Amino acid sequence: MGLFDFFKKNTKLEIPVDLSILGSDIHSHFIPGIDDGAKTIEESVVLITEMYNMGYKKVITSPHIISDMFRNTPEIILGGLEKVRAALKQANIPIEVEAAAEYYLDFDFERKLNEEKLLTFGNNYLLFEISYLNAPDNLNHLIFKMQTLGYKPVMAHPERYNFWHNDFNIYETLVEKGVLLQMNVNSLTGYYSPSTKEIAKQMIDKNMISFLGTDCHHTGHIELIKKVVYEKYLQKLIDSGKLLNNTL
């Protein structure tokens, strides 16, 4: 074994991270047929069973709500949740399943804020995402509006927004404004991009991550999670004491 191989080997853990420490996953797409996640109830059961086998005690699934693509409503999501719960009960999978939503900050989001009771998780945490092309011009306004209405904004996978990778101060400013950051566990595999992995590691170094999510859509993501448990930075994040997953 060469010197390079020795150092490469040393970047991995010998004993995998115990995901049961997290208790809950707060970001996934397990309600079938309503977004780009699970397509059938059978697939939902397979994915959630895998989550249970990896140690999760609860999943809070979070279907997309995007006005011009996935026009989901609380009624659609909660109706799908009941079907998933029934299927898991029939399959004898003893895992708790709840539902929130992943809101896209699009042209209609502020109206939803003003007129609807949004789907949250835990202590009124509101999961939201933004465009991968650029941040909305009114991002700060919408964050303030969420907070004014009593929501606690949680930004989904901030490490995936490439347009901020060269301006890390923006992430720090978001945290200062009271935004909680949710990292995708598979970002630590380099699955999204090498730069996404590096930003995720920087956030962990600075204790900026409040929630860890799988953002699981399909079995390919499950297979990646089974590999990411050997990443040292995942252990560092869990050991930080910063994560709120196990408070849910």
Q: What is the mean pLDDT of residues 95-119?
A: 97
* pLDDT given for residue 11 in this prediction: 74
Q: Residue 65 carries which side chain, given as an amino acid letter?
A: I
Q: What is the mean pLDDT of residues 140-165?
A: 98
pLDDT tens for residues 178-210? 999 999 999 999 999 999 999 999 999 999 999
CB atoms within 10 A of CB 62: 31
Q: What is the mean pLDDT of residues 216-237?
A: 97
Q: What is the mean pLDDT of residues 223-244?
A: 97
* pLDDT given for residue 10 in this prediction: 64
Mean confidence (pLDDT) of the chain: 95
Neighbour-count burial for 220-241, b at 16+ CB within 10 Å, e otherwise: ebbebbeebbbbebbbebbeee
Q: Which 3 state secondary structure label does DSSP give 191?
A: coil
| pTM recorded for the entire structure | 0.94
Q: Which CATH superfamily is domain 17-241 in?
A: Metal-dependent hydrolases (3.20.20.140)
Q: Of 1-5, 40-44, 111-115, which gets the smallest average pLDDT? A: 1-5
Q: What is the mean pLDDT of residues 1-21?
A: 73
Query: Encoding tokens for residue 129?
Result: 């995402």
Q: What is the mean pLDDT of residues 4-15?
A: 68
CB atoms within 10 A of CB 56: 22
Give Cα 143 distance to the centre of its chain: 18
Pairing between strand 96-99 and 209-213? Answer: unpaired
* pLDDT given for residue 35 in this prediction: 98
The domain limits of the chain are 17-241
* pLDDT given for residue 207 in this prediction: 97
Q: 127, 73, 80, 134: which is closest to 104 by C-alpha?
A: 127
pLDDT at 215 over 90: yes
Is 32 within 8 Å of 87 (Cβ atoms)? no
For residue 154, with 0-12 CB atoms within 10 Å meaning exposed, 13-18 middle and 19 or more buried, which class applies?
Answer: buried
Q: pLDDT above 90 covers what percent of the chain? A: 96
* pLDDT given for residue 44 in this prediction: 98
* pLDDT given for residue 1 in this prediction: 47
Q: What is the mean pLDDT of residues 207-226?
A: 98
Q: Tokens 């074994």 — which residue?
A: 1
Q: What is the mean pLDDT of residues 48-66?
A: 98
* pLDDT given for residue 39 in this prediction: 98
Q: pLDDT above 70 covers what percent of the chain? A: 96
* pLDDT given for residue 220 in this prediction: 97
Q: 87, 83, 26, 22: which is closest to 59 by C-alpha?
A: 26
pLDDT tens for residues 21-54? 999 999 999 999 999 999 999 999 999 999 999 9
